[in-house]
Amino acid sequence: MTTETTQATTDTATEFSAMTSDEVTAALERSSASLAAYQARAAASAAAQTARDQPRPATATSGGHEFTTDPEIHGARSRVGQAQATFEREQKALYRGDGTPRYSDAEHIERLSSLHAEFDRVVGDVQQTVDGLVAAHTTTLRHLAEGDPLDALSMEQLTKATQQMAYIKEDVQTLPPADLVTRCQAALQMGDVPTLFNLARYVGQRLDAAARAIQAGQEAAAIARASGYLGGQAEVSTGAQGATGQQPDLTLAERQALSDLVAEMRTRVRGTQGQRRMEATRTKLQTAREVKAAARAAHDSVHDTQGRLEAHQRDSGRYSL
The pLDDT assigned to 51 comes to 44
End-to-end CA distance of the chain: 40
Task: Work out the average pLDDT over 106-127.
Answer: 92
- Asked whether 110 and 231 are in contact (CB, 8 A), the reply is no
Task: Work out the average pLDDT over 257-265.
Answer: 94
DSSP 196-229: HHHHHHHHHHHHHHHHHHHHHHHHHHHHHHHHHH
pLDDT in tens, 74-106: 899 999 999 999 999 999 999 998 989 999 999
Taking the CB of residue 123, how many other CB atoms lie within 10 A of it? Answer: 22
Arithmetic mean of pLDDT over the chain: 78
Q: Is the pLDDT assigned to residue 71 strictly greater than 60?
A: yes
Q: Which residues contact 99 (CB under 8 A, 6 or more apart)?
A: 31, 32, 34, 35, 38, 39
Q: Phi/psi of residue 192, each to 5°?
A: -75, 115
Q: How far is CA 134 from CA 111, 123, 140, 280, in A?
A: 34, 16, 10, 13
Residue closest to 153 by CA, chosen among 268, 246, 53: 268
The H or E element that residue 2 is part of is none
Q: How far is CA 73 from CA 69, 79, 194, 230, in A?
A: 8, 10, 37, 56
Burial tier of 18 (Cβ tally within 10 Å: 0-12, 13-18, 19+): exposed
The one-character DSSP state at 57 is: P
Length of the chain: 321
pLDDT in tens, 138-148: 999 998 888 88
pTM of the model: 0.60
- Asked whether 285 and 141 are in contact (CB, 8 A), the reply is yes
Q: Is the pLDDT assigned to residue 12 strictly greater than 50?
A: no
The pLDDT assigned to 310 comes to 66
